[in-house]
Structure formats: C-alpha cells, structure tokens
Amino acid sequence: MLPELKDLNTLREALSNAPGPDGNALQGAAERNGQLTKPPGALGRLEDLAIWYASWRGDARPQISAPQVIVFAGNHGVTAQGVSAFPPEVTVQMVMNFEHGGAAINQLAKAAGATMNVHALDLDRPTADFTAGPAMSEEELLEALRVGWTAVDHNADLLVVGEMGIGNTTPAAAIACALFGGDAADWTGRGTGVDDAGLANKTRVVAEGIALHGGSGDGLEILRRLGGREIAAMAGAIAAARALRIPVILDGFICSAAAACLANKSEGALDHTVAGHQSAEGAHAAVLAKLGKEPLLSLGLRLGEGSGGALAINILKSAVACHSGMATFAEAGVSDG
C-alpha cells in the first residue's frame, strides 16, 4: 500500500525507503535464461530486460498482461514569453483529442494492449512564469505530485507516463540545466519547432530561470521552482511505481527531466525504469547519459504524449515472452552445447 502523500517529506522518505528488486527472482530469472533453447546471449539486450523485469515483479517467470499509460497535461505561465510555436489553447484541445481516442498515443497504447488514462491539471490556471518567481508554491507542487502518486493502478504490471503541455520543453530544459550544470544553450532545443529567433528567445528564458533559481535545493525544490504540474505529476507516478515495484518505461525529454528530479533526491530512485527511446529533442541524449539509461529505440520521435514509451512496451513484452515462454533445453529435449 502507498502511504498518503501528506507533504514533500513523505515523498522524500518513500524514495529513501523504497524497496529494491527481488534477489531470489533475479537469481531464478538469470538461471532460467541460461537454460533456454538458444546460444548464450543470442537475444542480446532482450535477455537483460527480461531478467530486470522479473526482479522487479518478484517472479522468475513473469508475464506482462496489464500495462498502463498515463498522460498528464498542464499549462505554463512562461509561454507568455513566446517560447513555443503553438498557443497554450492547444493543451486543452489535445486533452479532448486524447479523451476521444484521436491522438497518436491512443493508437500506440491500444497496439501495446495498455489501458490509458488522462489527467488534466488545472489547465485554466497556468504555473507562474519562472523568470519572475517560482513556478509553483509548495502546496501546488504537492497537489500535482499527488495526482501522479494516486493515478497509478496498483494492479498494473508496467507503467508509461507521458505529458501534454504547450511550452513544456522550456521548463524541462531549465530543470536539466539546474540539475546537471552547463549553459542554458546546452539543454535548450527547438521543441515543437521554433525557428532560430525562437530558439534564442527560449534559451534566454531558460538562462533567466537558472540565474534566479539555480542551486536552490534538491530535485523536488528545483521541480517546484522551474517545473510544471504535468512534470510533477509524472514524477509522482514514477515514484509511486517504485514503491509498488511496478517497472516503468520512461518517455522523452520532458519525462526524463521529471525522472531526473527523483534521481537527484535519492540514489537508485530510477532503478525500476528503462528509457523507452531517445527523442529528437537535442538534449534528451545528454539527460539519458546523465541518468545512465540506454534507450531501447531511436526513431526521431519528438511528439511527447508518452508515445516513445508506449511504443517500447512491445519490446519489453517480447523480451518477457521469450524468457517465460521458451522451452529449456531439458523441456525441449534439445542437446545443450
């Protein structure tokens, strides 16, 4: 059972005390992998993925039958500074599209056999412009974290979290810069397609945010000052999944920035996660490198919504299906070379 998220310290304690992988399941899965009807290592990374998944589910021969995709949506006050090629109204419109099943993520979740849930967080009340002050109060941050914390289905056996929020590559870039250092330009990309002038403006905005808030505290405090409600909700869901031993497939740049806020707070906080893909947003590869995550896919995606993570569900399903469904040499009556 998850504890009630009464305050930020509850989340910090949950991260610090979160359970690790099941050692017996890890050993059993590794032993089974060595007995399957294939040459050692012939399935490459699929073998490692299956063993990793088994260890978090506490089952040496697991199945994936109940994946969940959650999309969180939020609006950002910083968009008033012209950091996006699209207006904030698109966030509301896209949420309606999700709810009517018309977006890419709806199709990808369906193809992966995943349930999909959408949570819109106060879209009529954008966060504050982080160049003028903190994006959220502590209570606003806590409310957003709670949405993610309680959105995870306890019966799910795999989780993907995605987002929708016009302008949200800007706070994600600011979070990455604050957590990992370097210049604003190192972390700021074109998002949904701003031109050169737009990129320069966006980089300026990120730099101003870092000048005001950089070095202000741990990952959760950086999230409060520079993030957004949907980014916080993703962090809350990823943290809840850790407490529930539900493996997570990370999506793109913005989801990775949310995850980085947890990793900054607690070593090993992301051990239950894999990176679904490397997006076309320039700094995503750098964030994944900082997190020590090798992406499963690299297809030039830059959509968000959880699309890359949902696409990777079938890779993990395939890894687990081979691991749990293949016969051993003894079962198949095949000579073990």
The model's pLDDT over 62-118, given as tens digits with 9 standing for 90+, comes to 999 999 999 999 999 999 999 999 999 999 999 999 999 999 999 999 999 999 999
Are 22 and 71 part of one and the same domain?
no
Which residues touch 18 (CB under 8 Å, ≥6 apart)? 239, 242, 243, 266, 269
Are 127 and 222 part of one and the same domain?
yes
What radius of gyration, in Å, describes the C-alpha atoms of the chain? 20
Are 114 and 256 part of one and the same domain?
yes
Domain that includes residue 249, residue range: 67-319
Are 224 and 293 part of one and the same domain?
yes
* In the chain, % of residues over pLDDT 70: 100
Confirm whether 285 is domain-assigned: yes
The pLDDT score that the predictor gives to residue 337 is: 67
What is the Cα–Cα distance from 4 to 72, expressed in whole angstroms? 20
Are 199 and 313 part of one and the same domain?
yes
DSSP 8-state symbol, 2: P
Residues annotated catalytic, as ranges = 305
Confirm whether 111 is domain-assigned: yes
What is the Cα–Cα distance from 295 to 275, expressed in whole angstroms? 5
pLDDT at 250 over 90: yes
Q: Cβ-count burial of 198 within 10 angstroms (0-12 exposed, 13-18 middle, 19+ buried)?
A: middle
The pLDDT score that the predictor gives to residue 12 is: 92
Confidence of residue 266 (pLDDT cuts 50, 70, 90): confident
The tally of domains found in the chain comes to 2
- pLDDT tens digit sequence for 209-229: 999 998 889 999 999 999 999
Residue 52: which CATH number?
Answer: 1.10.1610.10
Confirm whether 337 is domain-assigned: no
Residue 223: which CATH number?
Answer: 3.40.50.10210
CA nearest 162: which of 303, 11, 313, 316? 303
